[in-house]
Structure 1
Amino acid sequence: MNAIAPAPHTPSRLSLWLDLIRWNRPAGWLLLLWPTLSALWVAAGGFPGWHLLAVFTFGTILMRSAGCCVNDVADRDFDRHVKRTAQRPVTSGRVSTKEALAVGAVLALAAFGLVLTTNAATIAWSFAALAITLAYPFAKRVVSMPQAVLGVAFSFGIPMAFSAVQGAVPPLAWVLLLGNAFWVLAYDTEYAMVDRDDDLKIGMKTSAITLGRADVAAVTAFYLVHLAVWTWALWDRVDHALWAAALLAALAQVAWHFTLIRHRTREGCFAAFRANHWLGFTLFAGVVLALA
């Protein structure tokens, strides 16, 4: 008597949606969260209160998840040619483009609901943040270093945090955004180095391709500019010894990243990218501990 083969497992809609928003890969939203929380602490001169902490923590998670939905729809024809992304729900056809956009819209509306509990200035800035989030996936078609666009998108929680605390966005917020954008350039170039061979075949524009053999030096420089800008911007507000300790810990991580990416292996570059949230946490811890 022949044994009956088990039926192939069909993922539930919920599991597909969780895969769509990269729920099992929290490093993505942590990259947005740490600089946003750092800005909250700086703007408030200390603990910003449970309300704003909850709004920006959950809002960051929701907007990053919504961004994944839009990104996967925009890149579905490219992702099928990249080994690492070929099985994403939209690319593989398990989730339709309409369904993915609907999930993204619900998540974005939930995030907007949280913003509505802040103030009018922050609500206004949220529309600019949404516009940049929607623009980024399409920048990869026309901009030679789309990671710069992502740098602004992934740093926009900084001016919004200042706005929520102070009702306005001071120059300090824009300086911190600029510095953070260099961090995004660093880690997203590492990410792009993983897929460089595939991206060259399909005509995708990335900083890893634009920089060529200068990629490792550029990534290292981006990290150093990020740390220099934040140190300069915060120096008069922090305990120098405590901030220096955090800075040394961050610089040690930059050196480690250099060792991971210098041979340009997929494994090394991906490991470097995934470890970046620890650098963000290090600076956040430095801000919390060192604020005078």
Structure 2
Amino acid sequence: MDYNNNSVEGFWGKPTSTDWCEKNYDVTHYIAEFFNTLSSLCMISAGIFGMIMHSKGFELRYTIAFVSIIVVGIGSILFHGTLLFSLQLFDEIPMMFCVLILLYNLVENKSQKKFGIWFPTLLICWGVGITSVMIGSGKEYDNEIMQDIEFYVFQGTFVITSIIVYIYTILIVFNPEGDPSVTKLWLLGSAVFLFGYIGWHIDLHFCSVVNQLPLSLPNPQLHAWWHLTASYGSYILCVLVSYERTKILSKKPTLKWIFNILPFVRLPVHNTNKNNEKRLFKNKKELLYDDENEQLDEKVPLLKDEN
């Protein structure tokens, strides 16, 4: 890796985490990597928007998925804002669990569970196990070898799980009964994500080149662009999965777009209000029952008087 050898120290002291290509404390004394920190707000925004647009009529699993994107964004701000290893884990660990949540939502997308309780239990144990390895190796963060071990353990786990998730999305999109709108959504998300991932690698492995561009061009902040593209790609993946799941559950979903940029899943009103209708029906039955009892109570004294 072509690490950033920036010797500048700011408010948070000497960096102990992976140091990306952006110049440290270049904009303000209080934020280690200004653009990487600022761009992390995209993840929080994507998660909040997803929660708002997919709340009524959707299962809890999707709220959890969007919340996990928000947590990744918060961890990313803490990490890039300080460049402290302890806070780097607040970025990496949520990323790993976020992709595990997506994997669960993809695999268990039928009306009946395929694998029961053991599958989510396995995913949780896997996540906890990798987390333990990352924390254990990261205790020696001043040792460059141990730091590399922690970095590649996380990257390896994250990439392998992401590939599995990607394969599952391909199976969904390119099945014989595939929906053209879903294919469009998948192609857009894949293209944006791939663009950002290439930039991530350039920023990581060719930092010296990026910081010495011809014509005195500034650093293009490729890692910050990665945050933007990863946020968008993750959001689209959550939308795709929620659309497929609600379609399987016969909720008649439709894909809608805001300015042809932000997709979301819309459910018919009768689906989103189904629970409210059930409560209303139950309340009406109770009211009718009470009215009948009152009428009966009124008739009983009359019968007694006649006798």
- TM-score normalised according to structure 2 size: 0.32
- TM-score normalised according to structure 1 size: 0.33
The structure whose Rg is larger is 2
Higher helix share: 1
